[in-house]
Amino acid sequence: MKHHTLHGMGLALSPAFLTTLKSAVPAHVHFLELTPPDWVGRCGQVQANLKQLTQRYVGVCLSQSLSLGGPGQLDKNVLRDLRAFMAEHNIRVFSEALSWSADDAPLFINLPIPSTRAAVSWTVSRIAQVQDALGLRIGIRNVAHRMRPLQVEMNEAQFISAVVDKAGCSLHLDLHELAAHGLRFGFDPLAYLQALPLASIDYVRVGQDDALLREVLARTHRRVARCVGDMKQLNEEALTC
C-alpha cells in the first residue's frame, strides 16, 4: 500500500487562481490541493493551465463524494474516476470526508456517522475498500455537520480515533471545519482537538484559529503539510513554516 507524506505549505487551487499562478507561483508553495468537481469536465485553456501546474507540483485530492459512512454500496464509477483523475494530475495524497452523503442517490449534504462500535467497523471496512481501489493509504477528514448523530456510544473525537486506529489510515484535520463545528454545537474546539489521535495527522487545512494551529504544530513537531485557501493567507502562514 503506497503512502506519501507531504511537508510544507500548499494552496487549495481554484479556477480563479489560474491566471495569477500562470505567470508565477509563490516560492513557498510546495503542493496543490484539488477538489475534483472544480476540475473534472473542464477543457480548453483551463485544462491546459491546470495540467501545466500539476506537472510541476505534487497534488492532494480533496474528496467528499464517497459517502464513507453511508448505508449504500461504494460507487465503483466514482472510485474509477477518482483514480483516473489522480493519475492524470500527479495526485499523491487522497483526503476523504468522514461522513455519509448518499444512500441510493446523492443527498448533497454531509451527515454525521452514528458514533457506535458497529459504525466504526462499517466505516473501517469502507476505508479498506477505498484504499484497495486507489492503491494507497488515504486520510479521513473531519467535517462540520448540521445535526448531531442520533445514535451515540462515544463522542465524535473517540469515534474518529477508533476509526483511525482500526483502519490504519491517516487523519487529515480541517481546522476551519472544527472551529465551525464547535461554534454550532457549543463545545471547546481545543479540547476536542486534544482528544484526537494527533500522532496520525499528516495533513492540516489551516483555519483562522491560531490556538488550534499552534496546538497541532506543537504536538506533531511541525511534520505536517499545511494547506490554505487563499493567496493572502498563504503569504501569512508561510512566515511561520
99's grid cell: 461522513
Tell me, what's the pLDDT at 241?
A: 41
Q: From CA 6, how far away is CA 225, in angstroms rounded?
A: 5
Tell me, what's the pLDDT at 105?
A: 67
Which residue stretches of the chain have pLDDT < 50? Answer: 238-241
Tell me, what's the pLDDT at 135?
A: 95
Indicate the helix (H) or strand (E) that contains 60.
Answer: strand 58-63
Q: From CA 137, how far away is CA 131, in angstroms rounded?
A: 6
CB of 110 within 8 A of CB of 141? Answer: no
CATH of domain 8-238: 3.20.20.150
Contact partners, residue 119, CB within 8 Å, separation at least 6: 69, 113, 151, 159
pTM, rounded to two decimals: 0.92
Contact partners, residue 1, CB within 8 Å, separation at least 6: 131, 135, 136, 137
User: What are the domain boundaries of the chain?
Assistant: 8-238
Tell me, what's the pLDDT at 113?
A: 93
Q: From CA 103, how far away is CA 179, in angstroms rounded?
A: 28
Tell me, what's the pLDDT at 235?
A: 60
Helix (H, G, I), strand (E, B) or coil at 24: coil
Tell me, what's the pLDDT at 189?
A: 92
Amino acid at 107: L
Amino acid at 63: S
Indicate the helix (H) or strand (E) that contains 161.
Answer: helix 156-167
